[in-house]
Structures are given as C-alpha cells and as structure tokens.
Amino acid sequence: MDQLSGMDASFLHLETPETPMHVGSLMVFELPEGYQGDYYEEMKTMLGKRLHLASVLCRKLAQMPFELAEPVWIEDDDIDLDYHVRSVTLRRPGTMAQLEQLIARLHSTLLDRSRPLWEMYIIEGLENGQVAFYSKAHHSGVDGKAGVELAKVLYDVSPQMREVPPPRRKRSSGVSYQLGVTELLQAAVANSAQQYRKLADLLPTAAKALTAAATVLASQRTTGGERSLNLGLAPRTIFNESITNQRSYTTLSLPLADIKELGKRVGGTVNTIVMAVCSVALDRFLRERDLLPKEPLIAMVPVSLRTEGDSAMNNQVSMVRVDLATDIKDLPTRFKAIHASSEAAKAVVRELKPVLGVNVPITGSPWLMTGLASLLGRSNFAGRAPAAGNVMISNVPGPSMPLYMAGARMVHYHPVSIPFHGSALNITVQSYAGLLEFGLTACRRVLSQDESYELVEHLRAALREIEALPPVELAPGGASGADASRRSA
C-alpha cells in the first residue's frame, strides 16, 4: 500500500469529464521485412510477460473513507489484459491524418478508476504498412520522465526480444484480503505524520534555498532599456478559455542534430529553439486572425525536479513561466529575449529544487479540489480570470537509441498531453533516436483539427526563419555575448 503524494493526487482531484488527466504516446513501428504474424497477439503476449516489471501497470486506486486523505495504490492481482490492450484498424486509405484524428478521440475518454489506470492500442491499417501503438496512463501515476523509464522497461534495444524473469509467486493465506476502513485511516495518519516530520527536517534547507533563490532573482536585474525578466500576468487569448473533452491532435518530426547545431549557431539551446519556433508560429497564427494581443505571450513550462538516477513512477515536476516575446518584431532580438527568460527561470528553479517538490498533506483535499475543478469548468472562470500563461510548452528528453517492441522498430515516438481550463493548447516535444518529436494536443472547440494542421505549418515556417538568422559572435569561453554579459551583471 503506497499513498499518493499531494501532487500525484491533484491530477485525480482536478479530473472532470472535460479534463481527462492522462498523458500518452503515439508510436509508429516498422514491421520486420516479410512479417506474416499477428502483431497484436505478439504485442499482448509480450506485455503480459513484462507487466510485473513496472509497478504503474499493476496497481489500482483505493479511496480513503469519506475522502479525508489522499487515496492509496494497491496491487491488482487480476489484470484483464484483453481490456487494457486493444486492437483497432484504420479505414482505408489509412493516412497519418486519419491516425491523428483517431488518437484525438481515444485521448478524450476517461480511464476506468476501478482498474489499473492505463490502456494501450495496437492500430493497423496504415497505408505505408507500418503499425501504430497508442498508450495512455493517468498522470497521477507517471510524469514525463517516469514515462521514459517505463518505456525502458517495455521496449527492447534490438529486434531480439529479451527474456525477463517471471514474476515471483505470491504467498497467500488462502483468505481473500480486503483493505478495511481502519487500515486505510491508519495509513493516512501515518503518512501525514511522516510528511510533517519531513517538513520539519527540511526547514533549514528551505531557508537556504529561499535565500539563494532571492539572490538569483536580485542578480537578474536589467540595465536601462533592457527587457525585464520578471513577468507579469499573461494577456487574454483564445487559448485562455474553459474547454470541452473533445480533442484535436497533430504531430511534427524534426532532425535533432540540426536543431542542436542551429542552437549553437544562433546563440541558444535546443529548448530555446523550441520556444522560439512556438513563439513565431503562435504569433503568426493569432496575427492572421487579428487576435494577437499587444502584450507578449507567456508559456507555462514544466520543469523536472527529479534527481539523477531517480526512476520512481511518480510526479516530480514544477512549472516556470517563459516570455515568448511576441511583442518584439525583430527576430534576433526576440530570440535573445526568449533565451534570457528561459535561462533566468531555470536558474531560480535550480535554487528552489529542494523545497518545490515537498508534499504538504491537507485533510479533506480530495473533495475540496474536486469541487473547485467542477466549478472552474462550469463557471467559465478560466475565460474571465487573469491568466498566468497562455499555452503549455514542454520539452522532455527521451531515448537516444532506436527502440523495438515485439521485434518491430519504432520509427516515431510522439507525446500526447493534457490541455486544461485556461490552457487549451499543449505543445509537448520529446527527443527520440535523433528526432525531435512534437505533439500538439488541444481542445477541438478552441483549436480545430484543421487549425492544428495550420499551426504545424507555421512551426515549419518559423524554423526556416530561425535558420536564416545570422550566426552570433561567441564570447571568450564559448558563450554567446548575451549570456556572457548577463553573467557579468
């Protein structure tokens, strides 16, 4: 029995029919030459042999009495594999557009909370003979980084499927075991006491972290005429609305090596290139509709709090705000502003890392947060309240080597993510085997499928604009002039 942290449980409490809180992946596989087998059956058999290697696949929720505390994970020893692993065939001709529309529909439905919170789909019928694989798992049990760890468990690094040790036989007293009310309440009290002890032990570290963060903020001063790094509220846009459960979804693949080289040439990182490409594309998309605000758009960017070597299947993430500088017309100047804002936000998070992920138990939080989530959607409060950001943009490092599943080579690995009230568009990017894989997930009422394709074309055009920028001069030590001058400030 493992109690959810406050952050993990928040994804459960904030879930409504309009806002499913699961993350997913769309993978495309190349079957072995001359393959004549039943890929669905082979995949299901392989998954059945490996379920025990990933706890997220073998556990389900048990709610606390009267929802006085966060629920707990308990082991499920009766998993219906035919329910969790499903077969779908696309109608002819089986285009990529048809596949993306199918993923949008599959991603819009809630997971069954009486079962382990995951589903997988083997999708056949693609016109190029490839096979797609869509998986989704509830965000309460897995974040982007832990999802990559899960991928390492399920996938192989060669066409030869590795043998894994079978699960160990469970010892049983012969009596059906069911968690009782007393045991659940005892677990909740023990967990709360443990968390409060951790909070007390953390106080000296927290004081140091807050002092260091304040020093970093103070050092981020700007000279006369420079753009402020301390962001205010975001302007209102079409993305800051309450959403429905209907989704649009599109993908984009770019060569990672080219993006890295481009970042070095124009004075930024891969993350800067991603942010700048999104900035230019969103600018053009909104400007064409006469909907671009005068104030700069702000991106909400998840950042991992996970330490090196930590592969726990839980959420360890915080959020920073990055200036997309859409009010700056000159692209080189805009690029520098985006890079400076991104680096400044990451510097603060580095100092606050010891305290940002602290779990603070709150009695009654399940019913309180659930009520607030329902109110947020029904009242359209998100469409009227001040906005902290306009869109979600996430950049997740993924596997660098090609992966295989049941002997088939994975050629694409696109993320599928979560829009929410007030943030109707989520652009998630993941690296995989030399590619930078985009997944644009949005509320279809705010961004239709056709408009999502249009935004993808703007992303392509934005990259071409950045590629045309002149190279920056590097300061001594290899840093760009902007970075060097900021460090010396």
**Other beta carbons less than 10 A from residue 179's beta carbon:** 12
Q: Which two tokens stand for residue 407?
A: 């002997």
Instruction: Produce one character per residue of 357-370: b if its CB has 16 or more CB atoms within 10 Å, e if not.
Output: bbbebeeebbeebb
Catalytic status, residue 139: yes
Length of the chain: 489
Radius of gyration of the chain (CA): 23
Q: Tell me the C-alpha distance between 355 and 90, whole Å.
A: 47
Q: Which helix (H) or strand (E) holds 396?
A: strand 391-396
Q: Which residues, in sequence order, are CB contacts of 61 under 8 Å at separation 6+?
A: 12, 71, 72, 73, 74, 113, 117
Distance CA 118, CA 488 (A): 49
Q: In terms of Cα–Cα distance, which of 8, 358, 360, 317 is closest to 210?
A: 358
Find, among 229, 335, 357, 213, the residue nearest to 280 by Cα: 335
Buried b (16+ CB within 10 A) or exposed e, 310-347: eeebbbbbeebbbbbbbbbeebeebbbbbbbbbbbbeb
| Inter-residue contact 196 to 443 (CB < 8 Å) | no
Read off the tokens for 394: 């996430």
Residues 107, 138, 139, 414: which is the catalytic one? 139
Of 305, 304, 335, 338, the C-alpha closest to 321 is 338
Reduce the DSSP state of residue 279 to 3 states and report it. helix
- What's the CA gap between 217 and 223, in Å, rounded? 14
Catalytic residues: 139
